Structure 1
Amino acid sequence: MLNNTIAHFRVMNEPGSVGDVETLWFRNVLAAERDALGHYLTADHSAIPAIVALIAAQERPIVCLGIGKSGLVAAKVAATFSSLGTSAFFLNAAEAAHGDLGAVQTENVVLLFSNSGSTEEIMRILPILKARGCRLIGIIGRAESPLAHVVEHLIPMDVQGEADHIGMAPTSSTTLQMAIGDALAVAVSRARGFTREDFLRHHPAGLLGRHMIPIRHVMRKGADLPTVSPDASVADMITVISAGCMGAVCVVDPAGKLLGIVVDGDVRRVIESRRDIYATRTGEIMQTEPVVAEAGAVIADVLLLLQEAGRPLSVVPVVDHEGRLAGMVQSYDLLRP
């Protein structure tokens, strides 16, 4: 390990011939951390299925235990687990020995984060964790360390060297720790069948919470909804578009079924082609296969439609299960706070 660190130090300090030196330093760190992730991907991951199954089966919160930089990573990983539907909390190893161990229940799954594998504060409380029947999973930097020998499941990190210029600051090791923690959280979440809707329900505040608002609460409907029949002249249709202030009009049949949509761009193309706007019918120029949202959708669903459309959309019609027009929403209304 020492030889790897010294070699890394020498490479990092060789003068660059292209670009400014600060950019070279910056890019070297990113490259070193990328390489640490790439190296780990070539390792043996045969223990992962059992670890994912163990965590996914738990009904009690997962304990993420660490101290120092590894503790900061453990706290973030606990938050990721919780966001993705697996209850988890962070426990500082030093505070645990002064009363915080009371939060750990019998047979809790405990994720231990330690690069050295010999963290004194964790070693001190190991007997108590084992006495409580805790299931110990170690994300540990040294496979032959004391911690690595006592955990039930080991995820070894073989970091060749840190990414800083002296090869000592926790950089590549903490990046790898966090990536492994995130990967476990996602794998467990998928094993539990956690969905996008579940995720949004876990985030009721801010923009994420807004994404769970039913589309019916923000769409234009009733008398405020600009609609015309397919037999209406383009001239009359333009009047409806102007009055509606949405830059679009929905084309419906007498039963209210959506037949198509006309937007400002369609009108401009008619005018540019010098067609008679009094003789041309709306049905001749409408888009017959518009992107539509279902009446039961939430804002997140419609945002996904906009993303997948492959072209800019200013409005989206909303229809019921029989294809009848229920409303129309502007993309601006989906994004405003």
Structure 2
Amino acid sequence: MQCPRCNWQNHASYTQCFSCQAPLPVAGAQTGAAPLSSFPTANAPAPPPKPAQKQAYQAELVEVFPGTLPRLGATLIDGFLMLVLPIAMVLAWVFARPAFDGAPNAAYPAALALAVLGLFSPALMDAMGRGSPGKRLLGMRVATRTGERPGVARSMLRHFLKYTLTLGLTLAVPFLLHRVLTALFGERGLHGSMTGTFVVSSRASDTAIQKAVALERGPGWFLKAMVVLGALSAFSFATMVAVALWNQGDEPANPHREQVRQLDKAARPVLQLVENHYRNTGNFPANAAAIGLAQAGQLPAGFKALAIEPANGVVRLTIADGAGKPLDGKHLVYLPTMKKRKGQSDLGKWQCGSDDIARENLSFGCRHAVAGAAK
């Protein structure tokens, strides 16, 4: 109800204005300004508030925004809940899995849906209940600028931003990024500023919340656009990594790949000898004898010959017989990469590949394109 004297927006149950103590018109009565004689004078004491008004006044005096420690405690409690619920749901799926033996593919979407529901359960409680368990235990809730609960979509977006961008960036560089996020978005954090929500005391009235949040400014459109672009870039990168890992995992088991992986590990001492020769002389060794490997018995186990190209440092190792038909007599080729260090060229990483071993028999670390590098 709006005060006719000072235009302060009061709660509907008030009979006196919270700002100027002027009497408010009774609901259903004829509207209009009250006579000046009805307003209390400066010397006249204000009448004692009624019980309902007293509770409202006490709610106005409650600190609206909780401190950092209570909010951190609520985050830890909710994070523990997000860890326990998905695990419990996955265990329930494991025990119930025999019931899906007739249609095993039907169980996976159900298990995924239950896990997602467990992860977003605090957000759903913020949107449809009195707050997540952590906030309820510590006397807090999530509210919009009007003091109402956020909707499901806004609450889930807030929850996602909080536990991915805000928490992830803070944990990446704990002190620096926390300072940066606080300077850009204030104590509300990125997730609260981007979604227009506030963590407030559950004892604070809607009027007190509206009065307090009116002083809080949100981020501008440029900062919001930068956050959205950054989030999309991070999501795209994570998607590409996930797709790459998924495609690798789809390849069937191949014992030859493990053999190549072991041979690659055995070849590393040879590459170290080539690096030492280059750093000492400034040139690549002319042959295997230049690094002390003139005889085949001096080579690492699994190899029978070594060739070095002095022009570009390419190392070509011939696999000994006994590794299996796809690998016997084939080659692992190592191409050095150069990098600048203190104004001088130096050896960087070695790219492992082969020009005569089928790709499906190569380990993932030895699939660089080195065909024609050395013969």
Q: TM over 0.5: same fold?
A: no
Q: Which has the higher contact order (CA 8 A, sep 6+)?
A: 1
Under a length normalisation based on structure 2, what TM-score does the superposition of the two structures give? Answer: 0.24
Q: Which has the higher strand share?
A: 1
Larger helix proportion of the pair? 2
Instruction: Give the TM-score of the pair, scaled to structure 1.
Output: 0.26
Rg larger for: 2
